[in-house]
Structure 1
Amino acid sequence: MRRCLIISGGYAPHRAFEAGERVRSMLEQDGFAVTHSETLDAYDGEDLAGYDLIVPNWTVGRMSVDTSKRLWLAIWSGVGLGGFHGGMADGFRDNDRFRYMVGGAYVSEPGGITRYTVENARPDDPIMVGISDFEYHSEQYYMHVDPANEVLATTRFTGEDYPWIEGVVMPTVWKKPFGSGRVFFSALGHVPEEFDNQSMSTILRRGLNWASRTKSRL
């Protein structure tokens, strides 16, 4: 049985533990044994290398250099890293090692909660197959991203709030290898209710399965 560690907390409006429970339910249906922690101490207290998938779900927060090195070694050795929204892209702002593993970092959400289109950039990829472009109502993340990412979905900014970004195409879902491990990220999922969007939840579920160290259902 595959093992997953979810670590949830941080910025209260994200309701991280509730969202983490949504992820727990998804993964348990796919045969994972899930440990869901509400403390950052889990990064040091758990045997990270003993998991098949780690889901960082902690917006902001602080991670020491030693802790990030432990996580780095776990992912490098084959443990999967996968997550969503600020719990991954806006975690541990002062830790460049963590942000390098993630492949991107949140910098803004122009217009706050807004309506935009998520465009499928790789309809042939197993994570994205059968997913049509879809409308989404949430924060539209503007991020600094690693050009080595394999981009699976994008959004386009209108420039209504910041005219200088009009027409900018922003990666929203990506994956990449990291040593022997795999990394998956989706910017979607500001609050738990967004998991009710079938396209959003399908992409996340497939992506987390793909990132997991042992053979996924994809």
Structure 2
Amino acid sequence: MKALIVRGGWEGHQPVACTELFRRFLEGHGFELRVADTLDVYADRAEMDSAGLIVQCWTRGGFTDEQEAGLVERVAAGAGFAGWHGGVLAVGYENARYQHMVGGRFLFHPGGFVDHSVDITGTDPITEGLGGFDVHTEQYYLHVDPTLDVLATTRFHGTDDAPETAGAVMPVTWKRSFQAGRVFVTTLGHGPSDLTVPATRTMIERGLLWAAAGV
């Protein structure tokens, strides 16, 4: 199966270094990798038709109508789509079809980098054997689709810049069906150090395989 990695945008999220962390994992599971550093690949019908899994790490900016249609329609037709943090949640704010497919959008991260806990919710193969864990990174406050299959959450305790968030419980990791396709998202993963946290990496690796399994 072909996995298409689309990376770029704001360099603060280190899209190359972050996606490279998963190269060997994907190749070890039999994926043929294609890496694109432009969103124009979404408008390339031949490239999209051959992609069984799309891994996106692209922060800021948006999609042209043609790019958005190429991506959303390929996932709707059965491809998997997966990504983390701002690479999927802080891009395409004006692209309603993309926002609906992903199921959430980044608003802000109160307090910047803060200590907080990630709580596993229910039972699912993606989180099997994982318990709650602590992280020091950005705690994403989101707008989310109520139909998500939430796998992990975090509770906000309020910060000086956003005391009103105290008590809010927000999704951290989720999966969802999108017509014939599958979508996996986690808010974790600001940079390589976040992605190498064992529980975070395990969730993402399993999420990549789950997203691709629908093809």
TM-score by length of 1: 0.94
Q: Which runs of 4+ in 1 moved over 3 A?
A: none
CA distance in 2, matches of 1:160, 1:107: 15
Helix, strand or coil at the partner of 1:129: coil
Aligned AA for 1:68?
Answer: E
The structural deviation recorded for 1:214 is: 5.0
User: 1:95-114 alignment to 2 at 5 Å?
Assistant: 95-114=95-114
1:52 aligns with 52
Q: Relative to structure 2, which stretch is displaced further, 93-102 or 142-151?
A: 93-102
2:169 aligns with 169
Q: Is the 8 A contact 1:17 1:38 kept in 2?
A: no
Structure 1 runs not aligned, ≥5 long = none
CA distance in 2, matches of 1:36, 1:154: 31
CA distance in 1, matches of 2:195, 2:172: 16
1:28 aligns with 27
Q: Is the 8 A contact 1:181 1:213 kept in 2?
A: no
Residue 61, structure 1, aligned to residue 74, structure 2: no
CA distance in 2, matches of 1:96, 1:17: 27
The structural deviation recorded for 1:25 is: 2.5
The percentage of aligned residue pairs carrying the same residue is 39
Aligned AA for 2:63?
Answer: M
User: 1:2-151 alignment to 2 at 5 Å?
Assistant: 2-45=1-44, 47-122=47-122, 124-151=123-150
CA distance in 2, matches of 1:179, 1:126: 21
Structure 2 runs not aligned, ≥5 long = none
1:191 aligns with 191
| Pairs aligned (count) | 213
Aligned AA for 2:165?
Answer: I
TM-score by length of 2: 0.95
CA distance in 1, matches of 2:146, 2:126: 20
Helix, strand or coil at the partner of 1:115: strand
| Cα-Cα RMSD | 1.3
Q: 1:121-154: per-residue Cα shift (whole Å, max 9, x none)?
A: 12x2000100010001111100100001000000
